[in-house]
Amino acid sequence: MQQLPIYKARAHSILSPVSGFLKEAGFTHSLNPSRNCTFACTYCYVPTMRIQAGLKPEDWEQWGKFTTFKENAAELLDRELRAGQILYCSPLVDPYQPAEAEARAMPAILEAVLRRPPRRFVLQTRGPLILRDIELLCEVSRVTILAVSFSLTTDSERIRRWFEPWCAPIPERLQVMKKLSAAGIRTFATLAPLLPCDPERLAGLAMEATRGDLIGDPLHVRAAKPRGATTWQPAHRIAQVRGFEQWLDPAFQSGVVDRIAQSAARAGRRFVTGPEGFGLLADLH
Ligand code: SF4
């Protein structure tokens, strides 16, 4: 794994009221432990948001090349956490990005969640590093409704290496989901964004590694979403060079979604996309 600069800065606040997609899904607040994500996925929508959500120009101009942790995150959480909140951690970074191994921001955040549990707490990640905190996560799941939404974007290692070279290999991610589930943590496979894949095989791997419904979303494209966050340019270039442009075509994407949904239905499960899909996480009981 590449070694990238890690900075620390004090933040004014840590929880942000959500709007748009996450609000529609049913979340009340988001929690971002840092600015900028060292997974540096080529399709990441965050650098396309520009100055929204507290990003600074250097974040979107050098996306994935460094990160800045909010060093007072736990202290802020002690002030800002409320019992009725439904938290999504994190929409703008991966809380278990590679830099977290050194920064160790999440244990203090989870301790704060233990002190003042919200109504629901959803962790969105693709980082095997989450296993480092499995005991704390088990404790958190005893005081609030905790879910881990674990990203699995394709069944092909070749595709993964092209589009998300700094993320863990697929077999490792499947193992992480199984270990989290075995520890009693509610774990969902999130097939988002859907990269080029064998849809039935991807659905099968995701269902084998988890117990609940599958969640997902195709790559965002301007043809279907004229404004707001969208797929970052490097992924467009890779799709063009490698001959996968149809994966950015909304009609083709719908066919892929249907095939995954049919695979899930054959196993008595659902594949739910968009805010409705992420709404499954916000509405857990
Ligand atoms: S892990 Fe998520 S936030 Fe980080 S670069 Fe990849 S898509 Fe963006």
Q: How big is the CA angle at 182 (ends 180 and 186), to the nearest 5 degrees?
A: 55
The pTM (predicted TM-score) of the whole model is: 0.96
CB 130 within 8 A of CB 96: yes
User: What is the atom index within ligand 1 of the atom nearest the CA of 40?
Assistant: 5
Residue found under tokens 């290999």:
169
pLDDT of residue 204: 98
Q: How big is the CA angle at 120 (ends 119 and 125), to the nearest 5 degrees?
A: 155
Confidence label for 61 from pLDDT (cuts 50, 70 and 90): confident
Confidence label for 225 from pLDDT (cuts 50, 70 and 90): confident
pLDDT of residue 57: 84
Query: 266 C-alpha vs ligand 1 centroid, how far in Å?
Result: 31
Q: What does the pLDDT look like over 84-119, one tens digit per residue?
A: 999 999 999 999 999 999 999 999 999 999 999 999
Q: What does the pLDDT look like over 248-272, one tens digit per residue?
A: 999 999 999 999 999 999 999 999 9
Residue ranges and CATH numbers for the domains of the chain are 6-282 (3.20.20)
CB of 93 shorter than 6 A to ligand 1: yes
Contacts 24+ apart (CB under 8 A), 204-209: 204/263, 205/152, 205/155, 205/170, 205/174, 206/152, 207/263, 207/264, 207/267, 207/269, 208/174, 209/152, 209/174, 209/177, 209/178, 209/181
Chain-wide mean pLDDT for the chain? 95
Structural tokens at position 99: 């830099």
Query: 44 C-alpha vs ligand 1 centroid, how far in Å?
Result: 5
pLDDT of residue 56: 83
pLDDT of residue 53: 61
